[in-house]
């Protein structure tokens, strides 16, 4: 079974440009989460999808960030326009609905550098 995949693995863009990150969750996982780790700080939650619906987007920093999950499969996170403080590692995670543990499986992350 394939794990959570993220694309690209690295992205270097200039301030003001647009970047779109993609996450493909594990097949059959309805829950999809985006997290971000800014250098030296804790990993922070951005938002949570259940299928194609946004369950919780309380962690989205501002309206420059737009997340979508069309059809309840893969998700994209667009940053437009990017700012220097958006640099960090963006993680995607997915989990099944059922099960006591419902462990969140993480992707390898996308390292975003805004210059």
Q: Applying CB under 8 A, which residues contact other proteins? A: 31, 33, 35, 41-45, 48, 50, 56, 59, 89, 91, 93, 95, 97, 100-109, 111
DSSP state of 103: P
Burial of 102 (0-12, 13-18, 19+ CB in 10 A): exposed
**CB 16, min distance to other proteins, A:** 26
Counts for the chain of helices (H) and strands (E), in that order = 0, 11
For the bound state, the minimum distance from the C-beta of residue 48 to other proteins, rounded and expressed in Å, comes to 6
Closer residue to other proteins in complex, CB, 15/87: 87
First-last CA distance in the chain: 37
State in angstroms the smallest separation of the CB of 69 from other proteins.
Answer: 15
């Amino acid at each position: 079974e394939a794990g959570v995949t993220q694309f690209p693995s690295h992205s270097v863009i200039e301030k003001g440009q647009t970047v779109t990150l993609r996450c493909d969750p594990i097949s059959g996982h309805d829950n999809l989460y985006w997290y971000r780790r800014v250098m030296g700080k804790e990993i922070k939650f951005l938002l949570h999808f259940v299928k194609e619906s946004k369950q919780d987007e309380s962690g989205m920093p501002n309206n420059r960030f737009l997340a979508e999950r069309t059809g309840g499969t893969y998700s994209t996170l667009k940053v437009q326009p990017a700012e220097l403080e958006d640099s960090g590692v963006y993680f995607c995670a997915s989990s099944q609905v059922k099960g006591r543990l419902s462990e969140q499986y993480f992707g390898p992350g996308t390292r975003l550098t805004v210059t």
